[in-house]
Amino acid sequence: MEVLVPPGPTFTLSAEDLAAGELAALDDNQIFFRLVRSHLQGEGKRLEDLTRGEIKRRFFVDDDTIRRALGPSKLRGRPSRKSASARL
Q: In 1-88, which ranges are E strands?
A: none
Cα-to-chain-centroid distance, residue 86: 21
pLDDT in tens, 15-60: 777 777 777 888 888 888 888 888 888 889 998 888 888 988 988 8
Among 79, 68, 6, which Cα is nearest to 32's? 68
Paired with 76 in beta bridges are: 51
d(CA 11, CA 38): 8
Cα-to-chain-centroid distance, residue 46: 11
| pTM for the full predicted model | 0.65
